[in-house]
Amino acid sequence: MAGERLRAHVLDVSYFSGKLEAYLRWKEIPYERIEVRWDRVQGELRRATGVAKVPVLRTPDGLWLQDTTPIIDWLEARHPLGAVLPDDPFQAFFCRLLEDWADEWLWRPALHYRWSFAPDARLLSHRIAAEAMGHIPLPTAWTAAIVRWRQFRTCVSGDGVSPETRPHVERIYLDLLGRLERLLRERPFLLGERPCLADFGLFGPCFRHFSLDPTPARLMRDRAPAVYEWVARLWNARASRVRAGWPEPGTLPDVWHELLADVGAGYLPALHANAVAWREGRRRHDFTVQGITYRDVPVVRYRVWCRERLQDHFDALPDAVKPAVRATLERAGAWEPLWRDGRIASRLFEGAPPPVCPPAARRRSRLRDLIGDDPWNPPPRMEAPR
């Protein structure tokens, strides 16, 4: 298979597909883009990876890769041009932290805006029905109605969004727009003159959801035009055209400290509550952040693993850098929730760390996958979300 390109199996409306494609475009890694239908996700991709998820990469030598964060690490080691992590370990740690926050915490507002607002839900459900589910022997309008019902039930009301929590969910997005607008008025990318890992993490929700779905896109255009411009800039960025270096080691732009305060007040306490619930064997739990209680939220094993990775990244820092990183986290209120109750083991991916997928195949009802599967915790040995 020498000389063949990577094959990227993606969906055009997908949060993480957009993130991965922007990264591949920036790195100028040749790839074949394969827009998949749901029957292919349920068939070939499930047999190859064990889960019905996109994006998925297949390498020329036949490896299947899944989960965008480990995929980026894997590709960075093989394609050094245009590195997305600074050489400075202080900055690199905070790039990883903001990427993780963008992946897992902004998911809730992204899905809320897509499926809670009627114009957005109608548009996206019909797109998904027509583009990804045309093989289903039902009228498109019926398939779209099933998609709307399933997505709202699973990803909105089933993920703690209620009349009580909805203002907080929307405030997460509005605060993000305000902070990014001030940051990106002064520089083309989050750290300066070139994109970093945090840019690609934030690009996931900001591209396919916030800048394209009707309701959040209108808010972005009206409130944060510099963010709207950054989305297009990152999509068009190429490593060969950017020669700039990174900011002075040991420094972050001022607005990053506000973003880190959001991480410390919201995401890391929620990540801790999820990990405790996992340790206690619960499937659903309540958690309170910033005075708001989210009820009956799914316990996600993958997010226990995310917390472990953040702790691992801190432990891997050079000893000379750890005090500055800790002081920055403490200033943001993020140190204590990151380490509260110490390490809580997920035991996820033991013996088969991502992104390389171990061989896995199983049969399932397609109807169950459409209306009743658990997207948060796939079965054992199949847990490779994103």
What is the token pair recorded at 344?
Answer: 């809580």
Topology adopted by domain 6-112+163-371:
Glutathione S-transferase Yfyf (Class Pi); Chain A, domain 2 (1.20.1050)
Average pLDDT for 11-39: 95
Taking only the tens place, the pLDDT of each residue in 302-353 is: 999 999 999 999 999 999 999 999 999 999 999 999 999 999 999 999 888 8
**What backbone phi and psi angles, to 5 degrees, belong to 318?**
-60, 145
Return the SS3 of 43: helix
Given a cut of 70, whether residue 57 has pLDDT beyond it is yes
What is the token pair recorded at 195?
Answer: 């994109």
Which is more confidently placed, 346 or 359? 346
pLDDT tier for residue 87 given thresholds of 50, 70 and 90? very high
Q: ω before 55 within 30° of 0 (cis)? A: yes
User: Model pTM greater than 0.85?
Assistant: yes
Residue with the two structure tokens 């061989």: 359
Burial class for 384, CB neighbours closer than 10 Å (0-12, 13-18, 19+):
buried
Q: Report the chain's mean pLDDT, rounded to a whole number.
A: 92
Taking only the tens place, the pLDDT of each residue in 143-192 is: 999 999 999 999 999 999 999 999 999 999 999 999 999 999 999 999 99
pLDDT for res 368: 47
Average pLDDT for 281-293: 98
Domain ranges of the chain: 6-112+163-371
Given a cut of 90, whether residue 81 has pLDDT beyond it is yes
Which is more confidently placed, 95 or 1? 95
Q: Are 115 and 148 in contact (CB under 8 A)?
A: yes
pLDDT for res 362: 43
Give the end-to-end CA distance of the chain in Å, rounded to a whole number: 26
Element (H, E) at 101: helix 89-104
Q: How far apart are CA 61 and CA 79, in angstroms?
A: 16
pLDDT for res 3: 56
